[in-house]
Amino acid sequence: MTATPELEPRQGPLSGLRVLDLTRALAGPFCTMLLGDLGADIIKVESPEGDMTRTLGPFAPNRKETDYGAYFAAVNRNKRSIVLDLKDSSDKKTFLSMIRKVDVVVENFRPGVMDRLDLSFEKLQSLNPRLVYAAVRGFGDPRTGESPYANWPAFDIVAQCMGGVVSSTGEKGSSGVRAGPAVGDVYPGTLAALGVVSAVLNSRTTKQGQFLDVSMYDAMLTMGEALIYIYDQTGELHPPSGNEHPSLCPFEIYNTREGSIAIAAPTDKHWRILCEIVGEPQLGRDPDYKDTASRVKNRSSIRTLIENWASDKTMAEVVDLLSGRVPVGPVHTPADIFKDPHVAARNMLQEVEYPGSDSPITMANASIKLTKTPAGVYRRAPHLGEHTNDILDEFEIKR
């Protein structure tokens, strides 16, 4: 890991793209974080109170030197902050002046909030016809499709529940569990970033911007796409099935003497190799295990076979025997991830300056790797309003 020099020039493919970021919490800021990692100039527009997540920890030892914790630091890197109260006439005038010189606006308020501020997409586009306006909402925006839930507030767990993720995750016989990572926020944010890039590409060709939105509920339906077609074709609800895959085997997590490990050998080729490694080569051609459907039907005996073989081995020993021949992956904790040579080789842990701490904060680096226009972390998260004067000067706005 290497510390990121502050204010290192942006090199990503979106360098030159200017984004006004009105988002808060996670889904919206994750979208603009991705755009910032790819080189866009992200101007985070905050109210005088600031993004609510500034108050979430863990925090640097010296709280007096910073106004944000690790949560905010991770998803608001590569951004500058300007304080504008959009209910104030003077600040609203400033915001409208900025609109003329930006490419994108991203917000994640509930439907109608910007309209009531007289800052609707239609008004902003009248000032800047090329403007791309992106919204991340719990249940979408009426411009792209009316929803009976449009005015409901939503967070990650709500989206996971309604989109089917929870009902299909967890141990057999349970009512489901929330996925550990906040996929109900992060995946919609990722789709919104893709939507922004697509709309900007179109805008540069047609000279016309557009409105786009991503519903958190819709995004969870997209992420769990197998649930939809399985139910449509079979009527099966796909309840929680633990670590089993409904149509592949072996394709789950197995216990070793120390730790657990994923083994994915659903193809006939990989199954035969696995049988040789575990000392049962005849099973590779046994009629009871001849194809994927047969192996799914007999998954319990396969689980017994693999775990009996692995019971006297450590997780590392199983990885050593299977790696390069059968798809395998240890169940990593964060501590394991910090030590994994792949993570180091791919520069996936990045140290970034953390005000209030004698040491930097480490966060997941950009996972989109480009050879000519590298993406990554070049700037720490901003203090509230830290760049207000600089930004106003850039836009030639007097206060």
Catalytic residues: 185
Helix, strand, or coil (residue 364): strand
Closest residue by Cα to residue 107 from 207, 211, 184: 211
Closest residue by Cα to residue 85 from 116, 46, 44, 113: 46
Contact 99, 49 (CB under 8 A): no
- Whether a cis peptide bond, with omega within 30° of 0, leads into 142 is no
Amino acid at residue number 154:
A
For the chain, the first-to-last Cα distance in angstroms comes to 42
Q: How far apart are CA 230 and CA 212, in angstroms?
A: 29
- The bridge status of strand 132-137 relative to strand 104-107 is parallel
Q: What is the DSSP letter of 326?
A: S
How far is the CA of 233 from the CAs of 125, 186, 324, 377, in angstroms?
44, 29, 36, 45
Q: How many residues does the chain have?
A: 399
Q: In the structure encoding, which two tokens stand for residue 370, read together?
A: 């480009």
DSSP secondary structure letters along 275-296: HHHTT-GGGGG-GGGSSHHHHH
Amino acid at residue number 116:
R
Strand partners, 40: none
How far is the CA of 234 from the CAs of 22, 176, 226, 230, in angstroms?
44, 21, 12, 6
